[in-house]
Amino acid sequence: MLLKIQNVLSQEQVKHAKQMLLEADWTDGNVTAGYQSSQSKNNLQLPEGSATANQLGEMILQALGQSNMFMSAALPLKIFPPLFNCYQGGQSFGTHVDNAIRQVPGMPVKVRTDLSMTVFFCDPDEYDGGELVIEDTYGSHKVKLPAGDMVLYPSTSLHRVTPVTRGRRISSFFWLQSMVASDEKRSILYDMDMAIQSLRAQVQDSPEIVQLTGVYHNLLRQWAQT
């Protein structure tokens, strides 16, 4: 399931974060690349564990915790701390698949990458190129979202970032381990949860809505790994 989530960050948060990122010291993006990715990765990255990365990462995680759509779609168990990258001057990232397991730096914690996420800090008209192209069984999907929006997609997907030929593309990228490893099962649960929430917004609770809610939780109980 590929899901675009609007306004994860407010415009005030975007403005504050963007100013910090523009003033930050960047390094070669290959510092976090595996062997395969390093062959096609050409970008800049904020050093992991830097004060700016920690502060902005915490801001993003707090915002996601308040997003009902994100929580319903991702069912997060563990989240890798957000990273930050910048593409400019023709930089790009060729087709690759994300590493299956990520070790949280400085901690004995490993995260299985079920879902990948990108939060955009620049509006589409600020740069040319820089589309995130995600491939799945339905074809290729080009993603270039307004600042503050996020895309969530399965980490099993082949994806790439096209060359940025004008301006800068600044974003945050990271991964999570879901309580439900199967993308198909997560999609079923998400569709059911959204339908239940929509029904509740239209009518008062009824025996049917209560029954559907019970079905949702019974499925989650069977499929969740904690």
Q: What is the mean pLDDT of residues 68-89?
A: 97
What single-letter DSSP state applies at residue 25? P
Q: What is the pLDDT of residue 203?
A: 87
Which residues does the annotation place in the binding site for 2-oxoglutarate?
169
Which residues does the annotation place in the binding site for Fe cation?
96, 98, 159
pLDDT digits (tens, 9 = 90+) for 24-78: 999 987 665 555 555 688 999 999 989 999 999 999 999 999 999 999 999 999 9
For residue 89, pLDDT beyond 70: yes
3-state secondary structure the chain: CCEEECCCCCHHHHHHHHHHHHHCCCEEHHHHCCHHHHCCEECEECCCCCHHHHHHHHHHHHHHHCCHHHHHHHCEEEECCCEEEEEECCCEEEEECCCCEEECCCCCCEEECCEEEEEECCCHHHEEECCEEEEECCEEEEECCCCCCEEEEECCCEEEECCEEEEEEEEEEEEEEECCCCHHHHHHHHHHHHHHHHHHHHCCCCHHHHHHHHHHHHHHHHHCCC
Which residues does the annotation place in the binding site?
96, 98, 159, 169
pLDDT digits (tens, 9 = 90+) for 102-132: 999 989 999 999 999 999 999 999 999 999 9
- pTM, full prediction: 0.92
Structure tokens at 86: 């910048």
pLDDT digits (tens, 9 = 90+) for 135-192: 988 899 999 999 999 999 999 999 999 999 999 999 999 999 999 999 999 999 999 9
Q: What is the pLDDT of residue 189?
A: 98
Report the alpha-carbon angle 192-195-196, nearest 5: 85
